């Protein structure tokens, strides 16, 4: 009898989670808006191999390209798109999902950025890379120096090393991922707050963690972990530190002091290797500090971009 009850309870929980997953997949993403509040509809750009990716394009001025992390998309930059589009043309492409028709290697992501810029008639840009988007931005700057007028990196990595994460935190990532999306909302918020206290997954211990919880609750899962794993496989043999001394363009490296996945010493090393870099730490910021500390992050980025543009104007 107990076994039957246990099987019944397990089946009910499984059915509930599947139902929540389907609802999540069917949920439309929150619209992305420019600085005046207007909705930005994506355009689609065909990459090498034939895959078409959605690209957000808004604002006018010098071009900033926002490159998301391993399983993210342009929605992770909702606060930056709204702020930066007042003075800059902001382009935010999604990463390719597969490598059909092209060689499966990490450099392809940098080539994809160039394809997007070509399709939109852009000659040069400042890539802003978050997490896995950081090495893509670095590689773009190294491969296409004449098309790079600046470089912004936040909570990123130049080589793959998970030794500091630890087995316990690694095992808790999928648990945090599921419990912050597929349980009743009050329970999800409590658990997300719990994950934040211990720096699990994307949560941090700051008051702004509530924004990250809101982002998780309102953003459908579009990129499965299998795709993230395939993307990471292309980076396993890479060590971009030898590229960095050759990147002469101005660079900004932003670090969250509470980020448990890309620690502060990695960010300092990257900044030290870049010849023309500025290093900024944001107190209590976690892996998604550009959401939890959006105002401070945007202020740092906008001030730095304005300084780079001012120097360029004086030089010209």
Alpha-carbon Rg of the chain, whole angstroms? 20
For 113-155, write each residue's pLDDT tens digit.
Answer: 999 999 999 999 999 999 999 999 999 999 999 999 999 999 9
Average pLDDT, the chain: 87
**β pairing state of 277-282 and 251-256:** parallel
Looking up residue 299, the CATH number of its domain turns out to be 3.40.50.1820
Contact (Cβ atoms closer than 8 angstroms) between residue 98 and residue 110: no
Q: Cα separation of 101 and 117, whole Å?
A: 21
User: Which of 13-17, 74-78, 296-300 is the most confident on average?
Assistant: 296-300
Whether residue 170 is predicted with pLDDT greater than 90 in this model: the reply is no
Query: Does residue 14 fall inside a structural domain?
Result: no
pLDDT at 189: 79
Query: Does residue 8 fall inside a structural domain?
Result: no
Query: Does residue 170 fall inside a structural domain?
Result: no
For 238-259, write each residue's pLDDT tens digit.
Answer: 999 999 999 999 999 999 998 8
The strand ranges marked E within 59-158 are 63-67, 89-93, 126-130, 151-154
Determine the distance from the C-alpha atom of residue 116 to the mean position of all C-alpha atoms in its chain, rounded to a whole number: 17
Q: Which residues pair with 46 in a beta bridge?
A: 52
- Residue ranges making up the domain that contains 46: 39-163+220-315
Contact (Cβ atoms closer than 8 angstroms) between residue 278 and residue 251: yes
Q: Cα separation of 186 and 184, whole Å?
A: 6
Query: Does residue 139 fall inside a structural domain?
Result: yes
Determine the distance from the C-alpha atom of residue 98 to the mean position of all C-alpha atoms in its chain, rounded to a whole number: 18
* CA distances to 32, 42, 148, 288, 302 from 78, in Å: 6, 13, 23, 12, 15
Query: Does residue 56 fall inside a structural domain?
Result: yes
Q: Which of 263, 273, 27, 23 is nearest to 138 (CA)?
A: 273
For 91, residues 6+ apart whose C-beta sits below 8 A from its C-beta are: 55, 56, 57, 63, 64, 65, 66, 116, 117, 120, 122, 125
Residue 60, judged by CB atoms within 10 A of its CB (0-12, 13-18, 19+), counts as exposed
Query: Does residue 201 fall inside a structural domain?
Result: no
For 83-100, write each residue's pLDDT tens digit.
Answer: 999 999 999 999 999 999
The enclosing H or E element of 44 equals strand 43-46
Q: Quote the number of domains for the chain.
A: 1
């Amino acid at each position: 009898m107990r076994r039957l009850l246990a099987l019944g309870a397990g089946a009910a929980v499984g059915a509930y989670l599947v139902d929540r997953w389907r609802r999540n997949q069917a949920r439309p993403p929150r619209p992305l808006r420019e600085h005046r509040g207007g909705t930005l509809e994506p355009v689609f750009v065909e990459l090498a191999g034939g895959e078409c990716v959605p690209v957000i394009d808004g604002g006018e001025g010098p071009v900033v390209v926002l490159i998301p992390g391993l399983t993210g998309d342009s929605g992770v930059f909702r606060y930056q798109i709204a702020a930066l589009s007042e003075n800059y043309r902001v382009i935010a492409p999604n990463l390719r999902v597969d490598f059909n028709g092209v060689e499966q290697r990490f450099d392809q992501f940098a080539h994809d950025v160039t394809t997007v810029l070509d399709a939109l008639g852009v000659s040069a840009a400042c890539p802003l890379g978050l997490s896995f988007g950081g090495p893509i931005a670095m590689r773009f700057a190294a491969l296409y120096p004449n098309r790079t007028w600046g470089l912004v990196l936040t909570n990123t990595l130049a080589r793959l090393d998970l030794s500091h994460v630890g087995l316990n935190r690694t095992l808790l990532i999928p648990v945090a991922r599921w419990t912050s999306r597929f349980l009743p909302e009050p329970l999800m918020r409590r658990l997300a707050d719990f994950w934040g206290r211990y720096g699990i997954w994307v949560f941090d211990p700051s008051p702004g963690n509530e924004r990250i919880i809101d982002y998780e609750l309102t953003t459908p899962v579009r990129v499965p972990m299998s795709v993230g794993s395939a993307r990471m496989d292309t980076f396993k043999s890479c060590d971009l530190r030898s590229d960095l001394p050759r990147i002469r363009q101005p660079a900004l490296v932003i670090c969250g002091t509470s980020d448990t996945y890309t620690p502060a010493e990695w960010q300092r090393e990257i900044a030290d290797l870049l010849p023309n870099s500025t290093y900024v730490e944001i107190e209590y910021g976690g892996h998604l500090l550009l959401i939890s500390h959006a105002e401070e992050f945007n202020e740092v980025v906008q001030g730095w971009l304005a300084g780079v543009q001012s120097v360029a104007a004086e030089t010209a």
